[in-house]
Amino acid sequence: MYNTAKKQVWFGELRTSRGTSIVVHDNALPDASPGRIYLFNANRNTIGEYVEDIVKVNLHELDNEQLKSAKAEHEAAWLEARTEFMAKHEAHIELSSVPDSAPEPKKKPSAALDDPIDDSMGVNDDDMDYEDTGFEASMSEDDDD
C-alpha cells in the first residue's frame, strides 16, 4: 500500500482497469486541490492531479528489484517533468502575488446631489416658469368677489 510518510519521493505502481503504470509521488511538490494529489505517471510522462480517495486503493509498493528497475527507467523523465512542473507552479505563485495595477474605476457623479431633477417628469424645477400658469391670476379674481 502507498505510504509517503516514510519517503520524500515514492515510486510505486498504479493498477487500474486500463492496466498498470509506474507512478511517482513527491512530498516536495506543492499541495494539490483539497482531496487530490499530484502523481507523475510514467506512461503519460507527465505530472497529473488525481483524486486521492480513488487512486489510493490502487497504488501499490514495488519490491526492491522493481524499484531499482523503475528508477533506472523513469527517474530522468520524472526529474525533467518535476522541473517543468515546479517552474510553471512558481510562475503561477509569482503572478498571484502581484498587486492589481489596474486603474481605479471612475465613479459616476450622482445627479441627485448635483442637480435636483423631478424624476416623474424629467424636468428640472429651475426650468419651470410658474408665473405662466395663470394660477395666481385666477386666484386673485376669485378673491375680489
**Same domain as 83, residue 36:** yes
**Same domain as 17, residue 88:** yes
Residue with cell 489510493: 56
**Same domain as 80, residue 125:** no
Assigned domain for 145 exists: no
The per-residue pLDDT for 14 is 95
Structural contact between residues 20 and 62, judged by C-beta atoms closer than 8 angstroms: no
> Cα(29)–Cα(9) distance, rounded to whole angstroms?
10
**Same domain as 116, residue 60:** no
The number of residues in the chain equals: 145
User: What is the average pLDDT across 94-106?
Assistant: 59
* Residue scoring higher pLDDT (56 or 122): 56
Q: Determine the structural domain holding residue 58 and report its residue range.
A: 9-96
Asked if pLDDT for residue 94 goes beyond 60, the answer is: no
The per-residue pLDDT for 120 is 53
Asked if pLDDT for residue 74 goes beyond 80, the answer is: yes
User: What is the average pLDDT across 71-92?
Assistant: 88
Is this structure's pTM higher than 0.85? no
Name the percent of the chain lying above pLDDT 70.
59
Lowest mean pLDDT of 59-68, 70-79, 131-140, name the range. 131-140
* Residue scoring higher pLDDT (137 or 19): 19
Number of domains in the chain: 2
Assigned domain for 4 exists: no
User: What is the average pLDDT across 65-84?
Assistant: 94
Q: How many CB atoms lie within 10 A of CB 89?
A: 14
User: What is the average pLDDT across 76-90?
Assistant: 89
